[in-house]
């Protein structure tokens, strides 16, 4: 996922990468297209790609509102209803519509700090009402309140998630590609 070569040695980046891949016995490579050097290594050294995700950054502050929606922390008492809606039982935040859990989400910090990777899901009966975008908007706010920078990702073919993120002010900034390294 990361490869760095001092600027004065970048002309030798490709042979250095190939030696690193051979020595480490790496089988796969993953790169974000906004990391130009590693993306070049992926295109020069990989044989097949099987993952294509879009990475989003926060570009627009939104002021979305939805009637009857409450955004709040998940309580232990909510877990049964969350699981009944086939939502993430480990999510920290939720939206409810007149007492019913409509969606859940959270922020992961498994990525590069200070970025917070926002995720969410909306229960089937509540989709296509703007709830997902509202949830993303509120998770962005929480992320900023924590002193972090919101980011998100979704599969490139998931048009609904892409539209939800963009309505909440998140815009595509890169692709995440994963591929098998050639022998």
**Residue 23 belongs to what H/E stretch?**
helix 13-24
Instruction: Give residue 182's pLDDT.
Output: 86
**What is the mean pLDDT, run by run of 10 residues, along the chain of 183 residues?**
91 96 94 92 88 92 94 96 94 96 96 91 95 98 97 94 97 93 83
Cα 128 off chain centre by: 21
Whole-model pTM: value is 0.85
Tens digit of each residue's pLDDT (9 = 90 or more) over 113-150: 899 999 999 999 999 999 999 999 999 999 999 999 99
When computed from its CA atoms, the radius of gyration of the chain, rounded to whole angstroms, is: 20
* Domain 58-173, CATH among 3.10.450.50, 3.40.50.300, 3.40.630.30, 3.40.630.10: 3.40.630.30
Tens digit of each residue's pLDDT (9 = 90 or more) over 41-50: 999 999 877 7
Q: Residue 33 burial by CB count (10 A; 0-12/13-18/19+): exposed, middle or buried?
A: middle
Identify which of 10, 12, 13, 50 has the alpha carbon closest to the alpha carbon of residue 28: 50
Neighbours of 15 (CB within 10 A): 9
Look at strands 100-108 and 93-97 and give their pairing.
antiparallel
CATH 3.40.630.30 boundaries in the chain: 58-173
Cα 76 off chain centre by: 26
């Amino acid at each position: 996922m990361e490869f760095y070569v001092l600027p004065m040695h970048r002309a030798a980046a490709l042979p250095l990468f190939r030696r690193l891949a051979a020595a480490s016995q790496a089988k796969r490579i993953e790169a974000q297209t906004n990391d130009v050097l590693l993306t070049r290594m992926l295109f020069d050294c990989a044989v097949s790609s099987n993952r294509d995700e879009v990475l989003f950054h926060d570009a627009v502050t939104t002021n979305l509102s939805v009637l009857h929606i409450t955004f709040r922390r998940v309580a232990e008492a909510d877990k049964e209803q969350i699981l009944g809606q086939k939502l993430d039982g480990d999510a920290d935040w939720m939206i409810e519509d007149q007492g019913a859990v409509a969606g859940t989400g959270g922020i992961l910090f498994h990525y590069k700090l200070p970025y917070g990777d926002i995720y969410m899901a909306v229960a089937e009966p509540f989709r296509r009402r703007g709830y997902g975008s509202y949830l993303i908007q509120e998770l962005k706010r929480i992320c900023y309140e924590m002193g972090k920078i919101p980011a998100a990702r979704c599969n490139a073919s998931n048009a609904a998630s892409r539209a939800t993120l963009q309505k909440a002010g998140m815009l595509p900034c890169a692709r995440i590609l994963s591929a098998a390294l050639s022998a």
